[in-house]
Structure 1
Amino acid sequence: MNLNQWFEKGLTAEQYIAGMSVNKAAMNQILEQFSLSSEERERLAPLKGKGLKVIALSEDWCGDALLNNPILLKIADEIDMDVKFLLRDQNLELMDQYLTNGTSRAIPIYIFINKDGEEQAVWGPRAKHLQDLVDQERSKLPAQDDPDFTDKQKAMYKNLVKSYQVEDKLWHAVANSICDKLIG
């Protein structure tokens, strides 16, 4: 399948959100509270009406998706870009073409395509600022063979997801990272 065919196979944002069973409230909270800054809007202005589309490989259980997807949707609204969501676990043929570091099925992955279905940019799964934050928190964990590792790792991710829901500086870090990728 070409990218336009994958796009056509996808769910609209409304369908994706309606089908969510995990993180729906948290994602909707960010969607309601986040607004692009005037600087972000200015940066995006040249892309308005260019016919861009985006395939969002995602899953509702993913903490990064609950942060990144609403930001993507705000950017899409700003530049009149159509968004379609594909569930990663049901679309491994496409996912495996966009592995993180060549090995990981990390999500979300956003594949931006032009009106002809040609790939223009790929973004994901995290903004650099957020990756640095995750790496910093991971460095505080005990060794994997430590009996407390699993509990401490779960607590770390729970705290990160909590910060994703309330820290607008993280929201703008994601928005600017996506802008950087789109604008080049």
Structure 2
Amino acid sequence: MDLNAWFQKGMTMDEYINAMTRNRDEMISIYEHFALTAEDKSQLETLRTQNLRAIVLSEDWCGDALLNNPILMRIAEAAGMELRVVLRDQNLELMDQYLTNGTSRAIPIYIFLNEEGSEVGVWGPRAPEVQALVMERRAALPDKDAEDFQEKQMALYKDLAASYQTDAAIWQTVANSIKQTLL
């Protein structure tokens, strides 16, 4: 299947949100509280004439999707870009073409397309600065065979999720990273 066909197969962002069973309220909260800067909007408006579209490989259970998808939605609004969501777990044929480090089915992945349906950029699953933050926090965990590893790992993920939902600096970092791919 070519990328245009995958795009057509995808759900609109509204359909995706309405079908969400996890992280819906948290994602909507980020969307409602995040605003692009005037400079961001001005830069993204220059993309309107390109009629870009994006395939969003995602799942509602994913913490990174919870953070990144609402920011992409704001970017798409400013750039006049249509988004379509393709669920990772039901579409491994597409997912396996966009593995992180050649091995991981990490999401979200954003595949940006031009009018002809050719790939013009790919972003995801995290902004490099967010990846560095996650790696730094993971490095502080005890060994995997330690008695308290599971407990500490769950606490880490809970803390990261809280940061993702409230830290406007993280939101802007994600926006800058996605914007860099597009511009």
TM-score w.r.t. length of structure 1: 0.98
SS in 2 for 1:49: helix
Q: CA deviation at 1:49?
A: 2.9
> 2: CA distance between counterparts of 1:18 and 1:45?
28
State the distance in 2 between where 1:172 and 1:50 align. Answer: 24
For 2:182, the equivalent position in structure 1 comes to 182
Secondary structure of the residue aligned to 2:162 is: helix
Give ranges in structure 2 of 5+ residues lacking alignment.
Answer: none
Alignment of 1:16-35 (within 5 A): 16-35=16-35
1:105-152 deviations in Å (ceiling 9; x for gaps): 000000000010000000000001100110110011001111111111
2:58 maps to what in 1? 58
CA distance in 2, matches of 1:167, 1:48: 29
Q: Is the 8 A contact 2:123 2:178 kept in 1?
A: yes
4+ aligned runs moved over 4 Å, structure 1: none
Q: Structure 1 vs Structure 2: percent identity of aligned residues?
A: 55
**AA in 2 matched with 1:135:** M
Alignment of 1:21-170 (within 5 A): 21-170=21-170
How many residues are aligned here? Answer: 183
Provide the C-alpha distance between the structure 2 equivalents of 1:85 and 1:174, rounded to a whole number of angstroms.
Answer: 19
SS in 1 for 2:32: helix
- The letter of the residue matching 2:136 is Q
How far apart are residue 46 of structure 1 and its match? 1.8
Provide the rounded CA distance (Å) in 1 between the counterparts of 2:80 and 2:42. Answer: 14
Which letter maps to 2:117? G
CA distance in 1, matches of 2:76, 2:161: 23
